[in-house]
Amino acid sequence: MVRNLCVLLLPILWSCTATIAADRPNIIVFMVDDVGLGDIRAFNSQGGIPTPVLDDLANNGVRFLNAHSSASVCAPTRYALLTGNRVYRGRNAMGSWNPYGGSHIRQGQNTIADMLSQHGYATAFFGKSHLGGAKTQNGKYGQLRQGPIDHGFDYSLTLPSGIQAKPYAFFRNDRLSRWDDDKKDFVHLDSKVEASRFFKNEKMDNWSTETVGPLLMHDALNFIDRHHTMHKAKKPFFIHFCSQAGHTPYAPPERFNVNDPMNTKEGIPIKGQTTNKRTDMVHEADVAVGLFKKKLVEHQLWDNTLLIFTSDNGVAKGINSTWSNPIYHDSKDGHYGGVRTEKAMVNGGSDHINGQGVIDGVPLRGKKGYCYEGGHRVPLIFHWPARIPARPVGQLIALHDIYRTLAGMLTIQVPGEQAMDSADFSKVILSGSNDLIRKELMIQANRPTNSKDKRQNSWSFYSAKRHNGKVVIWKAIINNNRNAPQKRKAATLTELYNLTADPGESKPISDTKRSKRMLAEYKDDL
């Protein structure tokens, strides 16, 4: 009787779901790799990289000036963005880097894709996951468990370790796949015998780093085509596109050919267009976002698409980068400080200045991996034509806040045990509210500050308060147990900064009372 009632109600429920879905935007979260706040021209007028598409999005959407990746390196951030949790709530305190070492996402933890799938969205993942996984012991050859398909995504084309580590291969729907240039599509390799012809020493025979971006983009645009053919605008989609652009090995394609991805002799010029190969890859990301826009305009979907652009951490060391005032020292990377310059390596090219970012004319300190602002302050743009009022926003936000912010924008209720560290910025984005959402924030670095103790790493702990109508942000740098950061009794505060007065973190402040208070707040913020 109950089953028959469910059958009778199913068309009504589906009709309601379809109606709700039709009123909701398509969502694309486009994440680049190791791209700094100052790599995007809209955030840095001295930047030497042409980013016209991203500049247009930033100038016509909400541009966050104080956004932070959830960690200063990639794997922890990727987990935090998708789950809305700080990284230590996952499987490993510092992130999961081994593609076959088990998923970082614990059982019962929902991703953004899980949430959106439950509310009528088609979901797809493209690019670097870096969330761990496991080989299937009993099943089809080359199949992964605990990949995107097991975490809410209907479709995926995954690079488990990106372009920097094995396996150098694509996994379509979590199965080992090879690009067939005749079919212009990926095909599964289902047996060890078949795979041995092409896949040796964890590398596919036709792998070429410079074609990864065009291949990912080709497949993502095909997904949109297929989705539009099946659903038109009646069912929204969510795409999490994790670009390889910005990461080593720096290998931009000579030309970006989205229709014939392995052909790098024809298409949109990329290599040699900017300061160096790293900055060429940032330009490549701008081109890719432009191709998304072109496809969505073609299907009349652009006006109802929310596009979120960001980076997984601060700028990488890069090529031929020098510092104007190298007064600081890092045990791993040596001396640094002041204005960061990447000298042009191409004829007629422009030097690229302060890829790590600049605030009010002051260069940010540090880069990828550091606890300082250059390590994890990143570009973050929310763009939804005619729905989001364009403006810069200076208050604190982190990438793990995307989870509850999307839920708020879609009026989805999130259970308390999910996205435990995520804050909802939907009112700030949609209505221009000036409500101070985050009064505290903590971001993980991957090394200690002023310590050679490898058992520790640093956290940036922020406190934001309104004073005389202005938001004042203080930052404490705190060293804590690397492998058990939730155990905070032995944590020590090493440096204190007034970021509002000193965005370059050049003048640590001796304020015993404030230091004690912020350290106590950090220890209590579990």
Question: Would you state the torsion angle of the CA atoms of residues 3, 9, 14, 17, taken in this order, to the nearest 10 degrees?
Answer: -110
Q: Is residue 441 part of a domain?
A: no
pLDDT digits (tens, 9 = 90+) for 246-261: 999 999 999 999 999 9
Q: What does the alpha-carbon distance between residue 468 and residue 349 come to, in Å, rounded to a whole number?
A: 45
In this structure, the answer to whether residues 481 and 389 fall within a common structural domain is: no
In the chain, helix, strand, coil percent, each to 5? 30, 25, 50
Q: Is residue 443 part of a domain?
A: no
* Containing structural domain, residue 492: 448-524
Token code pair at residue 499: 């970021």
Q: What is the pLDDT of residue 138?
A: 62
Q: What is the pLDDT of residue 320?
A: 86
Count of CB atoms within 10 A of residue 233's CB? 13
| DSSP SS3 for 225 | helix
- The answer to whether the beta carbons of residues 319 and 342 sit under 8 Å apart is yes
In this structure, the answer to whether residues 452 and 419 fall within a common structural domain is: no
- The answer to whether the beta carbons of residues 90 and 106 sit under 8 Å apart is yes
Q: Does the N-terminal peptide bond of residue 50 adopt cis geometry, omega within 30 degrees of 0?
A: no
Q: Is residue 439 part of a domain?
A: no
CA distances from 290 to 55, 57, 142, 258 (A): 11, 10, 34, 12
In this structure, the answer to whether residues 337 and 460 fall within a common structural domain is: no
In this structure, the answer to whether residues 81 and 214 fall within a common structural domain is: yes
Q: What is the pLDDT of residue 122?
A: 98
Closest CA to 291 of 215, 226, 233: 215
Closest CA to 439 of 409, 474, 468: 474
Q: Is residue 287 part of a domain?
A: yes
Q: In angstroms, how far is the first alpha carbon of the chain from the final one?
A: 47
Q: What does the alpha-carbon distance between residue 317 and residue 196 come to, in Å, rounded to a whole number?
A: 37
Q: What is the pLDDT of residue 341?
A: 97
| DSSP SS3 for 219 | helix
Q: What is the pLDDT of residue 22?
A: 41
Domain boundary among 402, 431, 460: 431
Domain boundary among 389, 406, 431: 431
Residue 125's DSSP bridge partners are 156, 240
In this structure, the answer to whether residues 387 and 473 fall within a common structural domain is: no
Q: What does the alpha-carbon distance between residue 334 and residue 249 come to, in Å, rounded to a whole number?
A: 21
pLDDT digits (tens, 9 = 90+) for 343-368: 998 777 899 999 999 999 999 999 99
Give me the number of domains the chain comprises: 2
Q: Which residues of the chain have pLDDT under 50?
A: 1-22
CA distances from 228 to 248, 292, 300, 396 (A): 35, 14, 10, 37
Domain boundary among 396, 431, 466: 431
Q: What is the pLDDT of residue 168?
A: 97
Q: What does the alpha-carbon distance between residue 192 and residue 411 come to, in Å, rounded to a whole number?
A: 47
Q: What is the pLDDT of residue 526?
A: 77
Q: What is the pLDDT of residue 139?
A: 63
Q: Is residue 416 part of a domain?
A: yes
Q: Is residue 442 part of a domain?
A: no
| DSSP SS3 for 300 | coil
Q: Which residue has the tokens 């804590």?
A: 480
In this structure, the answer to whether residues 186 and 245 fall within a common structural domain is: yes
In this structure, the answer to whether residues 128 and 158 fall within a common structural domain is: yes
Alpha helices (H) in 25-110, listed in sequence order: 52-59, 74-83
In this structure, the answer to whether residues 423 and 520 fall within a common structural domain is: no
In this structure, the answer to whether residues 398 and 498 fall within a common structural domain is: no
In this structure, the answer to whether residues 128 and 16 fall within a common structural domain is: yes
Q: Is residue 425 part of a domain?
A: yes
In this structure, the answer to whether residues 420 and 480 fall within a common structural domain is: no
In this structure, the answer to whether residues 197 and 326 fall within a common structural domain is: yes
Closest CA to 400 of 29, 84, 75: 84
Q: Is residue 440 part of a domain?
A: no
List the CATH number of the domain containing 165: 3.40.720.10
